[in-house]
């Protein structure tokens, strides 16, 4: 079956512009995560959605970052007024029910470059 998909695969933008990154999780997965990975670094948690519950936004680095998950499926991560330090690979993952023992399936990521 289809895995997690993300679009676009690459995004180049100018400082100050807004960007939207999309994630399509595996069908039936109730949990969805967004992470950020800078070059050669580990993954940085951004936000977590579980079903219809309020998302865990504790990892969002600033109020320029926001995310939505519509209908318990597709999610969009929005970065407003992008800065050069926002350049990174943004990874989305989904899992069946959430939790450490539940396998997270990652998408291929969106490489964001802010000039």
Partner 1 sequence: GQSLEQPSEVTAVEGAIVQINCTYQTSGFYGLSWYQQHDGGAPTFLSYNALDGLEETGRFSSFLSRSDSYGYLLLQELQMKDSASYFCAVNPPGGQNFVFGPGTRLSVLP
DSSP assignment of 52-94, as one string?
Answer: TSPPB-TT--STTEEEEEGGGS-EEEEE-S--GGG-EEEEEEE
With binding defined as CB under 8 A, does residue 99 bind partner 1? yes
State the distance between the two ends of the chain, measured CA to CA, in whole angstroms: 37
Q: Does 107 bind partner 1 (CB under 8 A)?
A: yes
Minimum gap (Å) between residue 64 Cβ and partner 1: 19
By CB under 8 A, residue 108 contacts partner 1? yes
**Given 34, 48, 65, 90, the residue binding partner 1 (CB under 8 A):** 48
Binding stretches for partner 1 (CB under 8 A): 31, 33, 35, 41-45, 48, 50, 56, 58-59, 91, 93, 98-101, 103-109
């Amino acid at each position: 079956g289809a895995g997690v998909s993300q679009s676009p695969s690459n995004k180049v933008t100018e400082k100050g512009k807004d960007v939207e990154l999309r994630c399509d999780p595996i069908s039936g997965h109730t949990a969805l995560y967004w992470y950020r990975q800078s070059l050669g670094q580990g993954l940085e948690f951004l936000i977590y959605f579980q079903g219809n519950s309020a998302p865990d936004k504790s990892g969002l680095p600033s109020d320029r970052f926001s995310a939505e998950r519509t209908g318990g499926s597709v999610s969009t991560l929005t970065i407003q007024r992008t800065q050069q330090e926002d350049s990174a690979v943004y990874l989305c993952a989904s899992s069946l029910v959430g939790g450490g023992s539940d396998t997270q399936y990652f998408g291929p990521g969106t490489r964001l470059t802010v000039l």
